[in-house]
Amino acid sequence: MEKKLLKKDKLSGIVKKMAADKTLYAPVQDEDNVLFKVLGPGVEPLVAFANTKNAPKKVFFPHSELLVKYTRSPKGMVFAAMPADAKDVVLFGVRPCDARSFALLDMLFDQEKWKDPYYIEKRKKSAVISLACVQPPYASCFCTSVDGSPTSTQGADILLTDLGESYLVEFLTPRGEGLAAYFGEATPADAGAEAKKKEIAEKSAAAIQSKIPGRAIKPILDVSFEHPFWDTIAGKCLACGTCTYMCPTCHCFDISDEIKGDDGVRIRNWDSCMFPLFTKETSGHNPRTSQKQRWRQRLMHKFKYYVDNFDAIACVGCGRCVMSCPVNIDIRKIVTDISKL
């Protein structure tokens, strides 16, 4: 793995050059928010921010995705080939927690048994440039409790760490090395840079004050499906789905057909396990009739079922659900309470 040092004033030019050659997503100021979106001409990518309001999962798993177009003809159905995005994609400035979300989504969408070609195609054409969290985190960040850290490399192709005067540029994967030419002005990193990175990594991890017993609740969840605790958490939940839509790892979806005359399209849209309709079957039967059951599903999916299936917690500790829930339901408190059952 190659490591280089890049003078900080060179980074903006490199990102803009990449944006001219590829479709590049970056954190940008958008009124009061920092949003992760396509970097337009003349727009400055941000490097000093806690995290983007929206999760970058939308690049690989869009809110609404056209899967198939078809036409009914006397000879049968004719399916149109779906045009692929011509340009390669770069995700710049992804925080390490969000980069880890890609590794977690890969486990589901690109597993041995089931492969999602739409997701995989987009992943294959993309490189992730992650930006280590060296600035004060949000009070709601808890990445260190769910197997992550402010300098995690999981899910990233390149990791940039601000060392003060320069960035340490770590090329982590062949995809990352494929972007090395853009960093032509960088110089080889020395042992001093490594030592400084280590010191910064320890300081940044220590700055994450919010802690939850992430892995510890799995054995409790294994035997708590019918526990009365579940009656206590969902009472004030509005079933608005905000927590799931903001979450970088949530991936519920629905597939529907829209037909006009002989022409139709099949579309995949984000859905949410917090919505009553998510599990409603055509017969009218709904196996999850209460918000208690839906909240249990959300928590179990992240802290039990994903661990069962992939030995990974499906939460990266970004805190977006904590910050965005309109009635202040806090997943950290729920996990902590479960650890005391």
Q: Would you tell me which residues interact with ligand SF4 (CB under 6 A)?
A: 237-243, 246-249, 274, 302, 315-321, 325-327, 329, 331
**Min separation Cβ 78 and ligand SF4, Å:** 41
Phi, psi (deg, nearest 5) at residue 197: -60, -45
Q: Give 60: exposed, middle or buried? Use CB within 10 Å, 0-12, 13-18, 19+.
A: buried
**Min separation Cβ 186 and ligand SF4, Å:** 32
**Min separation Cβ 144 and ligand SF4, Å:** 12
The C-alpha atoms of residue 328 and residue 238 are separated, in whole angstroms, by 11
166/272 with CB nearer ligand SF4: 272
93/248 with CB nearer ligand SF4: 248
Of the candidates 20, 165, 11, the residue with the CA atom closest to the CA atom of residue 93: 11
196/280 with CB nearer ligand SF4: 280
28/247 with CB nearer ligand SF4: 247
Q: Which two tokens stand for residue 134?
A: 């060296």
Q: Count Cβ atoms below 10 Å from residue 293 Cβ, excluding itself.
A: 17
189/250 with CB nearer ligand SF4: 250
**Min separation Cβ 316 and ligand SF4, Å:** 4
**Min separation Cβ 242 and ligand SF4, Å:** 4
Reduced to 3 states, what is the DSSP secondary structure of residue 49? Answer: coil
Reduced to 3 states, what is the DSSP secondary structure of residue 116? Answer: coil
6 membership: H or E segment, kind and range: strand 3-7
Q: Give 310: exposed, middle or buried? Use CB within 10 Å, 0-12, 13-18, 19+.
A: middle
The C-alpha atoms of residue 240 and residue 205 are separated, in whole angstroms, by 33
The position carrying tokens 């904590």 is 322
93/319 with CB nearer ligand SF4: 319
**Min separation Cβ 127 and ligand SF4, Å:** 22
